[in-house]
Amino acid sequence: MDQQLSYNGPSSSLALDIKKAELATADLRTLIKYSSLVTASELANRLTLFVDKARSVGRDLQILQARTRSSLDNLITYNIFALKALEDVRDKKISAKELARAYNQIMSLILKMI
């Protein structure tokens, strides 16, 4: 699980690639806007739409990544807590009734996250 959290693979580079495309397209739009092309204004308008959508998609992707990582962190924390509680039951440090109470508390926290 630690490998999953430390992995900065395709999903994190995707947001960066979208940002690079957004910036490059914005530069291209500026060049076209002040060019002598017959359809410069129409092309600049369409590139503006692309830049706006790329910005929105990049922002949404970053939010999704943050929420995903947060959820994984929480699940790991709950699993560690549950494992510790199970070990305590095994070692007779707590009763099965106390384990059930702890389980219900964990489930309540998870439901609040959703």
At residue 27, the pLDDT reads 96
What is the secondary structure of 52-113 as a DSSP string? HHHHHHHHHHHHHHHHHHHHHHHHHHHHHHHHHHHHHHHTTSS-HHHHHHHHHHHHHHHHHH
Contact 14, 39 (CB under 8 A): no
Mean pLDDT, each 10-residue run in order, the chain (114 residues): 51 84 96 94 96 95 91 88 86 86 82 75
Per the confidence metrics, is the pTM higher than 0.85?
A: no
Both structure tokens of 19: 């940002």
